[in-house]
Amino acid sequence: MTNLIQNSRTILLACSAFILLTIAACDKDDSGNCNCDGDPPTEAVFLVIDEESIDNGNEPNDFSDTDVNDQLAEVGLRDALSYFQKNVGKTIDLYTGQVGDEGWHALKTIPNSWKNAGPTDNGSKNFIAAGPGLGGGEDDKEVLLDKIPDVTPLRATGLKMLIGKTVLAIVYDGDVSINYSPLNGSLQGENLGLVAFDVVEVTERTDGSTSSLPRVTIKIRSVDSALSASLVLFANAPVPQSSSEPFDIAPPATVPAAQFVPAP
């Protein structure tokens, strides 16, 4: 009888341990990286990222062509980038370009033409869906993507203001062209697709050129989780005076609190 009780206790303890390990564990890929998103984000900041930050051969990751969908690149491509899709939960670093050739850009103004393009009454979602004139349609796929007001290049201060936020971004195969006075940008050109991630840390680069912008540490999220969140715009992203001013390459000790508004 005593042996039976002891065996029962042993089995019960083993089951309890198994349950606890199962709860604590998350799926991993072949390289041991976590494939779980954690808590789903309540909101995602809408950005555009270009080849200065994510591209095949880019340091510090040396992505392959297939890692970043380079072999699929076309206007309106909205697939998740392969590397990011396969490495949800992994923490990596991204470089963010140079002053005057930034890699990350905030959208602050959504033109009414985007809202009218369809397929929804939300212009940001229409851009993400590559609606007519926004990367899709039979003709003039990019007609609504030139001279977009307030496309704002992010330098050190703006990047640091994003720490702790979830980002959803359309990635471009080339440069996002920026004009100043007034500030506007061209969002025409081939796309590599979509990425989503949490901004973990922003640090000054000491291994680049004198104009290199910070290294940003990110934790990769699934694109689907970011698409299910409320989409917001980075309303108070700092506005550069010109392609060279301010020469904002070192994240300051303190930054303004980031302000976000629903993406219309």
Global confidence as pTM? 0.87
What is the full per-residue pLDDT of the chain (264 aa) written as tens digits? 444 444 445 443 443 444 333 333 444 444 334 445 778 999 999 999 999 999 999 999 999 999 999 999 999 999 999 999 999 999 999 999 999 999 999 999 999 999 999 999 999 999 999 999 999 998 899 999 999 999 999 999 999 999 999 999 999 999 999 999 999 999 999 999 999 999 999 999 999 999 999 999 999 999 999 999 999 999 999 999 999 999 999 999 999 999 999 999
* Domain chopping of the chain, boundaries: 33-262
Give me the pLDDT at residue 89, please.
98
Q: What is the 3-state secondary structure (H, E, C) of the chain?
A: CHHHHHHHHHHHHHHHHHHHHHHHCCCECCCCCECCCCCCCCEEEEEEECCCCCCCCCCCCCCCCHHHCHHHCECCCCCECHHHHHCCCCEEEEECEECCEECEEEECCCCHHHHHHCCCCCHHHHHHCCCECCCECCCCCCCCCCCEECEEECCHHHHHCCCCCEEEEEEECCCCEEECCCCEEECCCCEEEEEEEEEEEEECCCCCCCCECCEEEEEEECHHHHHCCEEEEECCCCCCCCCCCCCCCCCCCCCCCCCEEECC
Q: Using omega within 30 degrees of 0 as the cis cutoff, is the peptide bond preceding 246 cis?
A: yes
CA separation for the pair 231, 245 (Å, rounded): 30
Region for residue 248 given its phi and psi (left: phi exceeds 0; alpha: psi -120 to 50; beta: otherwise)? beta
47, 234 in Cβ contact below 8 A?
A: yes
